[in-house]
Structure 1
Amino acid sequence: MAVLVCGLALTSQAASAADVSQFADLESVDPSLKKKIEALLEAGVFEGTGDDSFGLQEQMSRAELAKVMSLVFDLKVDSVLIPGSGSFQDVTSEHWASRFIEAVTEAGLMEGTGNGEFDPSGTVTLEQLAAVLVRGLGEETNTPSQGSSSNVDASEWAKGYVARALELKLLQAGSDGTFAGTGAATRETLVQSAFETKKAIEPELDVRSAVLDAGNRLTIEFSAAIDPDSFELSNIRINGIPLGDGDATYTLSEDGKQLIVTLKSTFYAGNAENARIEVAGIRSLFDAPMSEARQTVALTVTNPPAPPVTSPAPAPVIVTAMPTADPAGGEVASGTAVALSTSTAGASIYYTTDGSEPTTDSALYGEPIAITGPTTIKAFAVKAGETASAVMSASYTIAVEPPEDTTPPGFAATYPKAGAAQADGSRKVELLVRADEAGTAYYVVVAEGAEAPSAAQVMAGLDGFGDTALDSGSGAMTAGEELVVVTEALPADATAYDVYVVAADAAGNATAPAKVDVTTPPSDVVEPPGDTTPPNFAPTYPKAGTVLPNGSRQVMFKVRTDEAGWLKYVVVPDGDRPPDAEQIESGFNGENGAALAFGQGGLEADMEYDVLVLDPLPADATAYEIYIIVTDEAGNATAPVKLDVTTPPAKVITTPPAKVITTPPAAE
């Protein structure tokens, strides 16, 4: 029996480990910066400089940088520092940051200032911060020998670090495109850099486990602390049924890795076999997304409650999957194409771009949406016969781009072009790309002669109709060097396809799509014909089986096939509308309601099986119809076969007649 959900109504009471409202100097701070500060406070990376002051514009000290970097990069920090064991004579074991200074020194992120000193109270320059960040990310080998922009003012030793930190967006140039590397770094700079670094190193969010225990408490454990503002209860589904809002609460654990939901008392988990839970839309504290649009894991149910004695649960309500946006929001380059999608096949997506609530009168999504200014996209998905999804919301701001770089890369002569032929049967092709500027090369593969995609569609992996391309990918380009890209296997051998290639630089300037004609290699294997023949029932099968005891309201039937496979059946009232194979697969009757009984099991070839319909049927001595299908290992299924059965008569209990005692006549 699957998990049943009755009356799931919940209210949201999310716990928060930190509150930026306690700092008076953050009252008028930009909301996006305030959210980053709150994430770092909750993670224990930052503290304020006073009871009601965060000190956003204060210069950071070297000791403060050591502590923040130790926590950002999760370095090994000793709990106690033995007196006299430190590396620097001006940092005693009693210094508040001594343990963190030792950690960053041992990790090679920071060094002393000379003469055996660390200078913990000294200020930090932007170029020094850039060096620490690049070293911590292991990107030191990727730093150019010197800075690539005349607008960057940095010491000769630091130019490579500064260039790499700007390229990775760990630091930002000024609004005029300049960067003063020798200038002092503030705590605001450290907040921005620490958040972007955590975002860069944090892996995609995973659901580790889900447990429903006594008291109807559902505990979902994540691989990292989650953003309490990133989810809604309707994005959590148990056996396909979304949680609602109303009569329940949820909280977060202190470390932010556990979401605890207390469900309504009418929640019923059956016998907890094969229970599944789906989680979608949740992001980590540092903006890492779920590893999949919707992640499904097993739900462990302990001490399930007794089943309700009320009428059977209604048939599950099918809700269209909520759309997702790619990219999912945040700061983007002007002109970024946002693609909307839903995991429900055949669903339509309606959206708005002004922050208003969408309806079916709103714009119908057809191709990616170009972001050219601050935009809030709201969208929902709907499919005929299903309940409309929840509304997705994604907000975008435009990143400040260097004003002087507006020129896209240029392809070298004869590039892009087809490369070396790949192995026969691989269905792969090789592409060669060379451009005069470093950046990223994007490609999509479409059918020969198909509609040409736009640059935005190529970069989003879509064809000219806004659908997912046959294959897509990207690769990092080095200026003047040839980039070799091998596609994934395409649909057919020895077939011509069109490949469209776009080159984009770090500033977001992109070329027009360039077309390359390619042909996949010939096949090297002659595939045997697939199995397309469904199993056959043996003559006279299926048929009625052993008659069960009176009053049992149970029936048995016999089945035998000429091929191993998987049996599924449903029981419906006599004369009811016949179900099709898909309805039998789901345990439904011909009206898509729950069948009177449902069962399944494996079959071996040419063996007779007695199948017991375990659930008692509604009435004694009553005719019913059993509809049966068998599917083989290749997925070929029989047509539904009807078997007429009748439940045994009711069990009758008879009372023996009373014993009569007669008295003989008296003697005369």
Structure 2
Amino acid sequence: MNKKAMLLASSLLLGLPAANAAALTSSDFTDLKELDAATKAKYDALIESGIFDGMTDGTFGFNEKMDRAQFAKVAALIMGLEVDKDLKTSSFKDVTTDSSGGYALPYIEALKQAGITEGVGDGNFNPGGTVTKEQLATFLVRVLGQEANASSPTLQDPTVSPWAKQYVATALQLKLLSSGADGQFSGQTQATRNLLVLGSYETKKQIESSSPVKVSGADFASDNRLVIAMTAGIDGSTIDLSKITINGVPLDPNRDKFVLSDDKKTITIILGSGFTLDSSKTPVIEVDGVKSLFGTDVKGGGGEAPIPVSVTVPPPAPQPPSNSSSTPIPAPKVTIDDAHGEIGTESARYGISSSRSGTLYYALYPAGTAKPSAAEIKEGKGAVKFGSTEIGSNPKTLDLAGLTADTGYVLYAYAVATSRQSDIVSVSFKTQAVAVPAPVVTIDTNGVEIGTTAAQYNVSSTRSGTLYYAAYPAEAAAPSADAIRSGTGAIAAGSTEIGPNPKAIHLQGLAANTGYKLYVFSVASDMTSEIVSVSFSTKPVEVPAPVATIDTSSGEIGTTWARYKAASTQSGTLYYAVYPKEASAPSADTIRSGTGAVTAGSTEIGPNPKAIELSDLTASTAYTLYVFASASAAQSEIVSVSFSTKPVEVPAPVATIDTSSEEIGTIAAHYKVSSTQSGTLYYALYRPGTAIPSAEDIRGGANAEQFGSTEIGPNPKTLDLTGLSANTGYTLYVFATASDKQSAVVSVSFTTKPAEASAPIVTIDTSSGEISTITAHYSVKSTKPGTLYYALYGPGAAEPSLDDIRNGIEAVRYDNKPIGTEADAIDLFDLSPNTEYKLYAVVTAADKTSEIDSVTFSTKPLEVQVPVATIDTSSGEIGTTAAHYKVSSTQSGTLYYAVYGPGTSIPNADDIRGGANAVRFGSTEIGPNPKTLDLTGLLASTGYTLYVFATASDKQSEIVSVTFHTLSDSTELPPTVRVEQSGTFRFPNAGQGDQLTVVTRTDGADTVYYMLLNADAPAPSKEQIVSQNVDGVEGFKALGKKDVDPNPFIPTTLTIDQLFQNQSYKVYIVGVSGERTSEVQEYLSLPTEFQGDFPFDGVNVDVDGRTATVNLEGLPEGESQAYYLLHGGEPLNVVRAEAILNFPHGRKDVSSEQPSFTIEEELQPGAYYLYVVIQKGTSYTNYKQAEFSVE
């Protein structure tokens, strides 16, 4: 026997109605089963009286926080207020039927009408707002009407707000609520549903004690029934029929039965056969021993006021037998008003009537249950709800409560009148689904942590979503939801994911010893909660030492990295260092400096946890992380955590052939392939009968019709297999490699389509595709001469027909042209970047049409970065008439280059592109992979400069250059030597003379010979210099020779000592290689001291675009010459006037009347340094310099 059947059987034995056997009690809720018997009795009284319901998940919500809507419903019910359940509008702005507290709307209005509440102000009630214990005490005292009698605030309890002390004291005095074990009431903590139940029970008892429960009336109704009404719900277990008397005669429990109504306020007694009523006098009924659900004795006649009794249908008197015939009494007809039924989530309401007055029996069954008999309906066998009621022609409402949301039911009913039974009628319905309520946010004031500059509150929401929060000064006006969301005017603000589990909200950047107010609200499924707030004050500043913490539970460990969250009790700096686990523990100074650490660093830290990212670790290695914090000149203890990095795991790739993507033609097939990891895909195509190849066979193409490899990754890539035989079977095998791992070999078999003997075959050579951002070029071939039709379709386009291709219907591009058997080109322009296209081609020849061939491609994405061109100078290979350099660009595009001879001005990009004045110029496709420029047809032993720049996606790189010198033809040309720079340096000990240094570069010479003479002496012959013979040489001072490198790119420095100060010299140099000699190169060494007796105050530069004008200040009277040296980039470390005079960048005639000149070359953007020396006659000045920039 199941539980419901057992309850039904026991109810019949006790005289209780079967309809109540399925009523809920505390035992039906999982979170109430462990309560003691006394507490369960209180819950049962409130549940059975309809004041409390449970949750939809089989729980009562014992520890759930109560809200104002819940209390409003409970208060109205325990007070017995008149509630208009059909009310749909509220006098409060925030109470609506579609809100989460909408169920409480009629109860809230009843409380307002009774003067119990006026809301929270501004026309709002805040139905979702939480209720504190002191607020609950205040409500209960008001419900009892004890507000005027509330005691003075003598309560000595710091946990109760001053305004609430008189209400809490009264609630404790009336024993509505109680204090905790510590003697404190904890008035500002949130009240739970358990506390609401206990307080409501005690309040209801006090209401009944002030207004006793009594029998309000009795009526003899049809079908020999006596209906007794009570002023309150009664405990059915206290009903004893033998203690109910009619005219002093007790009822017989063995003969008579009773039914208790759903609201517990009506006893319907079915009087047994043989009961008679003396109709000559008014019946006197007395009821004894009955108690209310809250234990109050029911007053029922006797010494009390008599019970009002009416006789609507007197019990039938025994009738003598009659032989006369009579008119048959018709059976009643029952009607259920289906059209006006009201269906809720957990209830249903139907109007029902009968053509004749009598008793209505009804039962509610789950949809799909077999139709019950009249007896089963009466007994409620297998029913969810059942019962009986008086019925007549006036419609009566059946209220069916405690149903399951979103569930189908069938209501069956029939009537009995004058022993005649109606037909069974029924109506089917389905309860509504539970509406999703708006979220309700709660700030847990018990879990608060307040510091000097930070605060933390635990916040939760009844629904998962996003929480927005903002803290404002205590005196600031309350913000709107938008202001909280944006943080406008807030001291601290933010958002976080939120749900029923409390989550910590950290507020930082607060001022010490200051009042603030935290406002929060949440958004879930486009529904927004009410804004709730809490006020707090930060603590005054204290300066204890910080405490650093590593959250070991937050550790995330990889193969070469680790991440831990750390925090400090005070804001400051966190120092951290990682050492091998076996290393000794470091000191704070060692951690701070990172000495010996694998990795170390520091970061700002505070109470909010901050992630420490540890990189450059070794896989499978044990380490220890040490940290400490410093704040306000105080330092925390060192804390640490040990961990081990993970070993490197490299899974093997998985190769896939997408058979659903196959496109099979007569001589071509196309498959999309992919790999779980980026790497290389190897493929090979075999004919039938070939043994299954190994990976090595596939890689090498052993016995394959076709084979190859391509870069591969997770994004599918198309394999285009062309040049196949028509009507032939093939098997494609592929495998992938990545990170030294190899996938399994996968394959697919297919057969090419048969070819029509007389029709042409068109083939698009997919390997010939040249794709850019806006263009595409493919080579196409036909087996017969004819007309080529092609059409290009964009993404999402349907597969075109032959006529579509010929006429270009819906095509992006289309055209036709004659084609022969040689390869021809299809050129597609003005395409969209980064877009997938499909090109279709067909050929007609001699009234025969080929099959359609196609290829899918994607244009390259438009890159807007400027390319960077590079010349790899280390790759330079220089010959006598040629040079080779490797060049590259960061982006694929075109490289333009030009070679210029000595003395040519620096070219611009247009000069390079057009080759203006260049020795050689050209262009080539370029990309990140280096490409060799072969520069041929150059002159031997000549200096050149190579200039290059790159273009890509309409962007142009900067111009870069390299200067080189071709080698001499040693078999034909004599060696050369030239002086590149020189300088005269004073010895450290004055008086011994000067030291002359000369830097030379030779081309083809093995040895250089030099001879130093006074500047005014005649020049020696080449033979005298080479033979080092000084006979007959005038003004001789020094001579020598030095072995040199014949490469002109390697300089040689000659050093000549023991010169006299302030004297001019000339050095004569000859390069020698075997029997060949160079021309004599001479160099004038000027005195080391300033020789001029005229002024030169300075120089400045005016820049106009790419042109520079030099202005000289304080020139001597008359004409003079300006020698200048122009250097780009960084300034020169050593500059001497004599070097500028010997090797100037340029020379200009100037005068005091014309002190300016223009540098006649187009300057490139960058920084420049100009050095100028003025010479007048044989005298010269020291140099002056100026710095300027070209934009």
TM band (smaller chain): 0.3 to 0.5
In proportion to residue count, which structure has more strand?
2
User: What is the TM-score of this pair, normalised by structure 1?
Assistant: 0.41
